[in-house]
Amino acid sequence: MLEIAGDEYAHAYGSGVTQVDILDVLEDNPRATLFGDIANAPHLPADAFDCVLVTQVLPFVWDVRAPFRTVHRILRPGGVLLATSPGLCRIAPVEDGLFGHWWNLTSRSARRLTEEAFGEGNVEVEAFGNVLAAAAFLYGLGEWDLTADELAVRDPAFEVTVGIRAVKRA
């Protein structure tokens, strides 16, 4: 498995995970096992990973199509991309200063971008959010400030987070 910048999600949600490589563009990350930009990483081996986790990274990549091409290349046949991207969000000052904040995706743009690399029928996209969750997020509130019922409501006009699952076919 490969995760960007850390391995928190792999260990929190990956059952049976035996190895996690961490890719980071910043070479001062002591936990990283690989260094490079997910948008341009020809040094990463092809067909090498069962799963690649890309959480909240896409807004900071100028060539937003490139990470999908890279991930498709480095996944084994049958491997899975799990990605999230903000829909509605504030500009993240630290990341914007380091990389630029270029994009926020909608479920429609996420599907189209992912299908360009993975092919139609190999992509699932799901959006999460509603006006209350969006307002709370923009005011700096967290999930603990809303009830589970308030967070469970989904309104396609207020996509706070967009989730992507794509499978590399043989």
| pLDDT tens by residue, 78-103 | 999 999 999 999 998 999 999 999 99
- How far apart (Å, rounded) are the C-alpha atoms in residues 74 and 55? 17
For residue 158, the Cα-to-chain-centroid distance in whole angstroms is 18
Residue 81 belongs to domain with CATH number = 3.40.50.150
26 is written with which tokens? 């910043």
Q: For strand 21-24 and strand 2-4, is the pairing parallel, antiparallel, or unpaired?
A: parallel
Is residue 97, in this structure, part of any structural domain at all? yes
The 10s digit of each residue's pLDDT in 125-151 is 999 999 999 999 999 999 999 999 999
The tens digit of pLDDT for each residue in 22-59 reads 999 999 999 999 999 999 999 999 999 999 999 999 99
Total tally of structural domains belonging to the chain: 1
Q: Please give the Cα distance from 76 to 74 (Å, whole number).
A: 7
Q: Which domain holds residue 17?
A: 2-127+156-167
Residue 149: inside a domain: no
Q: What angle do CA 107, 110, 114 make, to 5 degrees?
A: 140
Distance CA 38, CA 59 (A): 13
- Dihedral angle over CA of 82, 29, 104, 10, nearest 10: 20
Residue 136 is assigned to a structural domain of this protein: no
- The answer to whether 158 and 88 have CB atoms below 8 angstroms apart is yes
Cα distances from 97 to residues 42, 60, 85, 94, 101, in angstroms, run 26, 10, 18, 5, 8
Query: Is residue 141, in this structure, part of any structural domain at all?
Result: no
